[in-house]
Chain A
């Protein structure tokens, strides 16, 4: 029997000591050493059954690029400072079945941040943070 799907109700995101009222979270893990990040140099001389041939790219990404980011939307009156750092904790609410720790005290750096003020709407913020590989 397949597991019952759960929504994200009760999920919390804490940066440092601030617990944000979040409306959406997207967590992205991207392995910078994965094959799709390499150059495909397969050629017709390879024989059936050979592995696809790849080589590393000559230039490497920034040493600070961990390949992992968290993008989230929140309700609030303050903008999160770009390049600010700290630790991030995300706990997933599981619709009454308990909570699950997704990230716990993981170091982060803010990549980008916006705050939107519009007529007849709540003040909404959005930020993307780069998190450490742990």
Chain B
């Protein structure tokens, strides 16, 4: 039977992101390459091993919001709960904060999955 998308906690660099309304994880992309090694397949790495798109609410400027200072940083991104358990290393690539009259702040961010 299909599982409900409920009870999910999304964390970025150890801090839970508040009020996540939507996310999408698309793994795959660049093939991992061997880095600085003569042994094929050792220490594989890829800077674009997939994309994560995230949408959330929450109060602007709080630690549980993806803020501008997170742009370009690397860390662990995890999705836990509701039958889901997924953790990946990622780089925060884009941040989009929108504000509209008579509405709440809405955040969108994308991450590139890093393999190293």
Contacts and interface: CB of A to CB of B under 8 A. Distances in A.
B3 to A, nearest CB: 10
Given A41-B19, A42-B21, A47 B7 contact: yes
A45 B102 contact: no
Interface string B1-42: 000111111100000001111110000000000000000000
Q: Which of A41, A43, A47 has the most CB of B within 10 A?
A: A43
Contacts of A55: 104
Interface of A: 39, 41-48, 50, 55, 57-59
B104 A45 contact: no
Interface in B89-115: 101-104
A45 B101 contact: no
Nearest to A42: B21
B57 interface: yes
B56 interface: yes
Nearest to B19: A43
A45 B7 contact: yes
Contact of A48 (B6, B9, B21, B22): B6
A44 B10 contact: yes
